[in-house]
Amino acid sequence: MRFLIPLGVFLVMVIFLAIGLSLDPRNLPSPLIGKPAPTFQLSKVEEPSQALTPESFRGRVILLNVWASWCVSCRQEHPVLLELAQRQEVPIFGLNYKDQLTAARDWLSKFGNPYEASGFDQDGRVGIDLGVYGVPETFVIDKKGLIRMKHTGPVTPQALEKDILPLVERLKQEP
Partner 1 sequence: MSAEIGQWCLILAVLFAIAQGVFPLLGAARGIPLWMSVGRAAGRAQFLFLAIAFGCLIDGFIANDFSILYVASHSNSELPLYYRVAATWGAHEGSMLLWALILSVWTVAVTLFCRSLTLPFQARVLGVMGLISTGILLFILLTSNPFDRLVPMPPDGNDLNPLLQDFGMTIHPPMLYMGYVGLSVAFSFAIAALLGGTLDSAWARWSRPWTLVAWIFLTFGIVLGSWWAYYELGWGGWWFWDPVENASFMPWLVATALLHSLAATEKRGAFKAWTVLLAIFAFSLSLLGTFLVRSGVLTSVHAFASDPARGLFILVFLALVVGSSLLLYALRAPSIRDSAHYALISRENLLLMNNILLVTAAASILLGTLYPLVLDALQWGKISVGPPYFSNVFAPLMAPVILLAGIAPLFAWREASLAKVWGKIRWLAPAALTLGIITTALFWELKDIKVLAGLSMAFWLIGGTLLSLWSRVQLRSSVLEGLQSQSLSSYGMTIAHLGIAVFLVGLVLSDRHSVEKVVRLAPGDTAAIGRYDFIFKGIKTVDGPNFKAQEGLFEVRSEDQLITELKPQKRSYRVQRNTMTEAAIDPGVTRDLYVALGEPLDAGAWSVRLYYKPFIRWIWFGGLFMMMGGLLALLDRRYRRHKMDPLVTA
Partner 2 sequence: MKTLILLLTLTGSSALFATEIRSFADPDKAARYDRLIGELRCLVCQNQSLADSDADLAQDLRNEVYEMIAAGQSDAEAIRFLTDRYGDFVLYRPPIKPTTFLLWGGPLLILLFGGVMAWRYARQRKPQPLSPLSEADQDTLERLKKTSG
Interface positions with partner 1 (CB under 8 A): 3-4, 6-7, 10-11, 13-14, 16-23, 25-26, 28-29
To the nearest whole angstrom, how small is the minimum distance from the Cβ of residue 152 to partner 2? 8
Distance CA 52, CA 131 (A): 19
Q: Are strands 92-97 and 117-121 parallel, antiparallel or unpaired?
A: parallel
Q: Which does 173 bind (CB under 5 to 8 A by kind): partner 1, partner 2, none?
A: none
Distance CA 21, CA 114 (A): 36
To the nearest whole angstrom, how small is the minimum distance from the Cβ of residue 169 to partner 2? 26
To the nearest whole angstrom, how small is the minimum distance from the Cβ of residue 23 to partner 1? 5
Residue closer to partner 1 by CB (options 1, 110) is 1
Residue closer to partner 1 by CB (options 11, 49) is 11
Residue closer to partner 2 by CB (options 25, 175) is 25
Q: Give a three-class secondary structure readout of 35-95.
A: CECCCCCEEECCCCCCEECHHHHCCCCEEEEEECCCCHHHHHHHHHHHHHHHHCCCCEEEE
Cα–Cα distances (Å) from 7 to 10, 14, 16, 85, 120, in that order, read 5, 10, 14, 56, 57
- Which residues sit at the interface with partner 2, rule CB under 8 A? 2, 24, 26, 28-32, 70-73, 76, 98, 123-124, 128-131, 133-135, 153-154
Residue closer to partner 1 by CB (options 6, 175) is 6
